[in-house]
Structure 1
């Protein structure tokens, strides 16, 4: 069994990879410009480099530090993934509000600390916030409710 701090090692490594990919992609697809006249690729390259550096700052000390093994709640992860799939399948036909309520209820199934009423309230609040942000606030072209007829 690995006795290194695997959580921080993996987390820092993933941050480093994401930062390097971001910087590489921006460098290859956008103009950098100069310091006095920055192009569209300047900020993504800099931020990607900073993210990669921060990832190394997290990952390198973890190599020499002992840590706990990863214990995942795979049932909860499965329900969250299922809720995302159900949301995607229901969005077009039933609209944003019903798809969000259904997805939230599915994601909350493994949580035994909440009663059914509380889970429904949580799902309704999440749906209301989603509606306010995406339909009202951002004016996204999404169906809010099922299309009748």
Structure 2
């Protein structure tokens, strides 16, 4: 019987990544308490949630028959390119233009054609980023090109 190796492998990768993050944060940062959380509380919690999600994906895949699926190279390249563009251009273009460009790059390989919905998605995600990170959390991000932090 063939197992679902695709879900098994990626679920295990998620679980191991989550455990590594939680383990590193556990030994490197103070946990604090529930009333006064330390800097390690949030990364340990997120790492354990990621490990749990990986287990939820991997464990059922051990008994499920799998099928061969092609690797999604165009999608991987678009997502990695979008992340690289975001990291390299955030200080130069500001968070709003960089977010819009990143969404356009990441959505360029979507099976649905057309530029209209991509522009609407880009504007919506950019507005959400501005509301959450700039207005809500008051993070010191450059909003526009040349803006000071």
Aligned mates of 1:6, 1:113 — CA distance in 2:
28
Residue 28 of structure 1 pairs with residue 21 of structure 2:
no
Residue 68 of structure 1 pairs with residue 55 of structure 2:
no
TM-score (norm 1): 0.72
Unaligned ranges ≥5, structure 1:
34-38
Q: Deviations over 1:56-111 (max 9, x none)?
A: 56535533432122433211221111111112222111111111111111112122
Aligned-residue CA RMSD in angstroms? 3.5
2:108 is paired with a residue whose SS is coil
Shift of 1:19: 4.6
Larger radius of gyration: 1
Shift of 1:45: 7.0
Residue 143 of structure 1 pairs with residue 148 of structure 2:
no
Aligned mates of 1:47, 1:119 — CA distance in 2:
30
Matched residue, 2:104: 105
Change (3 A) 1:92 1:112: same
Matched residue, 1:79: 78
2:88 is paired with a residue whose SS is helix
Change (3 A) 1:31 1:142: closer
Q: Deviations over 1:10-42 (max 9, x none)?
A: 133224423543454355345789xxxxx9878
Aligned mates of 1:50, 1:107 — CA distance in 2:
26
1:28 is paired with a residue whose SS is helix
Unaligned ranges ≥5, structure 2:
33-37
